[in-house]
Structures are given as C-alpha cells and as structure tokens.
C-alpha cells in the first residue's frame, strides 16, 4: 500500500468566546490547524492534524515529496515526517488492515484515557468560568498556567467556589518561580488547598538541586518534562514524581516505556483539536503509566472538525475501536474554516501563515501601587520579583487608535515600561 497523494489543508477554527479573549495574550495562533489528508493506491484515506505554531514537527514540502510513492507502513514510526502526516498514516494503515490505531501501537491496557480541561493564565473569574464549563462537559480536572502577574490564591479559591469537591487543579508555572527559595513557600501554601493536585515545572528544570529541594519539601507530586534533566539524572536525584511526555509516536512510546520501567506516572501533552485528542487516546490506551490526565487543549475550539465531537465522562475519554483513528472527519466543517488561498499567497516562502500579533498593552498592577506595562505576556516577559503577590492583576488595553496608545505600545515593544 503506497502513498499516492498528500493534501495539506490549513484551517482556522475559532476558539470559544472566552478563550478568544484569554488567548489574545499568548496562544492565539493555536486556532490555526494544518490537516493532512493521505490517499493510498488502495483507495484508503487517512487524516492527521498539526498545530503549526506549536507541534513538535511540521509537514514540509520536502517531506511530502519524499513520502509520495513510499509504503505507508514503512513511515509509521518515523517522527521526522511531522505530526499530521504520521497521524494520518496510522489512520490509513489501520483502515486498510481493519484495526484501530492502538493495535498498531501496542497492547491495549485501558478502554478510556484520563483528560484534563486547559486554560492559560487569566483572571480568577475566567479560571472559575472555564472550570465550571469543564465540569459541565464531563471533566474532573483543570490544567492551568499560574503566573506572577495574577493572584494565584484568588484564582484557586475562585475555582474551588465554582466546582464540586471532587474537581482538581494541576498547575504549571513554566519555571517562573525562579528558584527553590521562592517556590517552596508558595507551593506549600497552595498545597493546603485540597483541590490542588500537582505542580509542573515550578522552576527551571535544569536546576537539579533546586527541584530536588522542592520535591522533598512540597506535599504534592511534581511533574517535569521528560528528558530535562536526562532521565537517569531525574531518577537518581529524585527531582520529580512523574513526567510530561510529548512528541511523535516513536518518542512517546519510548519515553513512556522508560517511565513505566521506573514505575513513574506521566501525562501526554499533545496539543490540538479533535484528531489530535483522538490520537492521544490511542497512545494513552497502550501506555501503562499514562495515568495522569492528557493535555490536548481541545476545549479551546468551537468545532472539533469531527462528525461526532469528543465526549468526556467522569474525566475520561473513550478510546475508539473503529479502524484507524476510529473517527470521521467533518469535511463540511473543514471547508467552512479553510484559510483562503489569497491569504496563504501573502506568506513568504518557508514561513507559516500566522495571525497578526494583537496590539495590546498589558499592565501589571502590583499591591504597592506600582505598574509595569508589557506587550505579550510570555513566561519571562517581565522581571516579576518574589513570586506571587496578593492582589496582583493585569489590565489589558486594546488599541484605541490614540496617540497615547501608539506611543506606549511602541515603547513596550522594546521592553517593560515601569511607573
């Protein structure tokens, strides 16, 4: 069975109204998805998906040229071909063989995989509203991005007030707590809240001694991205309780097997829409220690691009048993959200289509009355001082076409402006 055609389709699937506002500060380009439609000489068709502005490996023109004419099965575990193409090949080979994708990955160990609702950093009210939406959709946990420019205690209490007692929160500071001396008092205080289940990467992962101190002092599991520090170092130095695993099929299975050998749990982090979330379920079905909730961010999207949207019950997503990925792509929805050719024509060769950067001024208000104005709010866009502070918050200003906005915006593009 050889590959005769690979079509790449760029779509722009709107986020939910609240997430459109939240993600304007950070991951607004994740609404762009590149679908990969593979056709074989047997007439079978497979689908895959890439988030061009996030996924580990894009599908390039060169990869497409090399793959055409190849046997589909030969490329299944080649992570270098790109997320969307690899996913599509597991789909098409599974369909041709009449077996679900998880049968091509290993021995199935579970019929449903845990999955978490996701939200980036935002106000306590936004976190609470997202958590409540997650509960209504069948989720039992929220993965969050706490940041030093929001009052994390107010965020946790808002979520606690908006959700039932069984609902849990996983927190990923992305290293913004800087060091163990800053992190330990904050994480210890947060651990007093029953809702807080675990922490991911509280300080930079290369700080082995600091992470070891945190794990010994904080009464909650600590998760770290697999491979940093090296796996054996992480085990020897006891820097974490489990891992975050992502990447292509070969890497995920290899890392997952190593974690299982050390009896270490992990979650899969494979960001995307309906196809990616389904793919993650097939991987999670064969990985014995994928027991922490998967992060796919599917809750961001208003349309999953599937005939039957992703359903979650009791915090678990059923693993499809139909051939291939076991789902049907909604091609009418794909056509509806397809990015017009005239927009793609404006992109320089070798570049990826992207939304214009939102013209925003984010002003961080500190309890002492001081303010810091910044543009985009990344993980290290502003020196934030000693961890989180009570009452710290952000006010976002949209471009109002005024001279005052233009002057301050041009200044914050060069770096933080304090007053």
Name the residue ranges covered by the structural domains of the chain. 3-100+333-344, 112-326, 360-418
Per-position DSSP letters for 155-195, written without gaps between them: HHHHHHHHS-TT-EEEE--TTTT-SHHHHHHHHHHHHTSTT
Per-residue pLDDT of the chain (419 residues; tens, 9 = 90+): 999 999 999 999 999 999 999 999 889 999 999 999 999 999 999 999 999 999 877 888 899 999 999 999 999 999 999 999 999 999 999 999 999 999 999 999 999 999 999 999 999 999 999 999 999 999 999 999 999 899 999 999 999 999 999 999 999 999 999 899 999 999 999 999 999 999 999 999 999 999 999 999 999 999 999 999 999 999 999 999 999 999 999 999 999 999 999 999 999 999 999 999 999 999 999 999 999 999 999 999 999 999 999 999 999 999 999 999 999 999 999 999 999 988 888 888 778 899 999 999 999 999 889 899 998 886 555 555 556 788 999 999 999 999 999 999 999 998 889 88
Report the pLDDT value the prediction gives residue 317, as an integer from 0 to 100: 98
- Contact between residue 419 and residue 371 where contact means Cβ atoms under 8 Å apart: yes
Q: What share of the chain is helix, strand, coil (3-state, %, to 5)?
A: 35, 20, 45
Alpha helix segments (H runs only) across 192-323: 208-217, 231-237, 249-261, 274-286
User: To 5 degrees, how large is the angle CA 289–CA 144–CA 118?
Assistant: 75
Cα distance between residue 204 and residue 180, in whole Å = 10
Cα distance between residue 153 and residue 250, in whole Å = 40
Q: What are phi and psi of 137, to 5 degrees?
A: -90, 5
Regarding the domain delimited by 3-100+333-344, which CATH topology (the fold level of the hierarchy) does it fall under? Answer: Enolase-like; domain 1 (3.30.390)
Dihedral angle, C-alpha 258, 264, 265, 270, nearest 10 ° = -40
CA distances from 124 to 24, 149, 374, 376, 393 (A): 17, 12, 20, 19, 10
Residue 373 per-residue DSSP state: E
- pTM to 2 decimals? 0.94
CATH number for region 112-326 = 3.20.20.120
- Contact between residue 274 and residue 51 where contact means Cβ atoms under 8 Å apart: no
Question: 10 Å Cβ neighbour count for 25?
Answer: 22
Cα distance between residue 293 and residue 39, in whole Å = 33
Among 6, 169, 11, 145, residue whose Cα is nearest residue 89:
6
Q: Count CA within 13 A, CB hemisphere, residue 91.
A: 27
Six token digits for residue 243: 């891992």
Report the pLDDT value the prediction gives residue 377, as an integer from 0 to 100: 81
Cα distance between residue 335 and residue 282, in whole Å = 26
Report the pLDDT value the prediction gives residue 387, as an integer from 0 to 100: 65
Report the pLDDT value the prediction gives residue 345, as an integer from 0 to 100: 85
Q: What are phi and psi of 59, to 5 degrees?
A: -95, 110
Six token digits for residue 16: 């939910």
- Contact between residue 266 and residue 254 where contact means Cβ atoms under 8 Å apart: no
In this structure, the chain runs to a length of 419
Strand partners, 40: 3
Among 78, 90, 77, 23, residue whose Cα is nearest residue 54:
23
CA distances from 28 to 15, 201, 291, 313, 339 (A): 9, 23, 29, 28, 16
Report the pLDDT value the prediction gives residue 386, as an integer from 0 to 100: 57
């Amino acid at each position: 069975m050889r590959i005769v055609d690979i079509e790449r389709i760029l779509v722009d699937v709107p986020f939910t109204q609240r997430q459109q506002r939240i993600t304007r500060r950070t991951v607004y380009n994740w609404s762009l998805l590149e679908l990969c439609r593979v056709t074989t000489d047997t007439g079978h068709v497979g689908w895959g998906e890439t988030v061009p502005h996030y996924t580990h490996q894009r599908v390039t023109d060169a990869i497409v040229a090399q793959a055409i004419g190849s046997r589909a099965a030969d490329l299944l575990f080649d992570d270098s071909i790109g997320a969307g193409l690899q996913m599509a090949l597991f789909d098409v080979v599974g369909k041709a063989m009449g077996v679900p994708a998880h049968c091509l990955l290993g021995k199935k160990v579970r019929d449903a995989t845990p999955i978490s609702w996701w939200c980036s950093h935002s106000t306590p009210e936004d976190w609470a509203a997202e958590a409540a939406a997650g509960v209504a959709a069948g989720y039992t946990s929220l993965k969050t991005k706490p940041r030093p420019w929001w009052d994390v205690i107010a965020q946790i209490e808002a979520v606690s007030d908006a959700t039932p007692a069984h609902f849990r929160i996983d927190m990923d500071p992305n290293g913004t707590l800087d060091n163990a001396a800053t992190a330990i008092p904050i994480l210890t205080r947060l651990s007093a809240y029953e809702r807080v289940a675990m922490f991911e990467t509280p300080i930079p992962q290369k700080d082995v001694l600091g992470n070891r101190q945190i794990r010994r002092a904080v009464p909650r599991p600590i998760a770290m991205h697999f491979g940093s520090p090296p796996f054996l170092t992480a085990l020897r130095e006891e820097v974490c309780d489990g891992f975050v695993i992502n990447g292509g099929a070969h890497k995920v299975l290899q890392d997952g097997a190593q974690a299982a050998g050390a009896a270490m749990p992990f979650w899969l982090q494979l960001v995307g829409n309906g196809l990616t979330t389904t793919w993650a379920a097939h991987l999670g079905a064969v990985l014995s220690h994928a027991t922490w909730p998967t992060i796919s961010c599917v809750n961001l999207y208003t349309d999953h691009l599937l005939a039957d949207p992703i359903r979650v019950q009791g915090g678990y997503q059923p693993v499809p048993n139909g051939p291939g990925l076991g789902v049907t792509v909604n091609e009418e929805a794909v056509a509806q959200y397809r990015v017009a050719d005239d927009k793609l024509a404006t992109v320089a060769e070798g570049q990826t289509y992207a939304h214009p950067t939102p013209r925003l001024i984010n002003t961080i208000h500190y309890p002492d009355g001081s303010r810091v104005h910044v543009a985009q709010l990344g993980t290290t866009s502003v020196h934030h001082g000693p961890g989180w502070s009570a009452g710290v918050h952000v006010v976002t200003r949209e471009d109002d076409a005024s001279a005052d906005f233009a002057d301050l915006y041009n200044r914050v593009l060069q770096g933080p402006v304090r007053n």
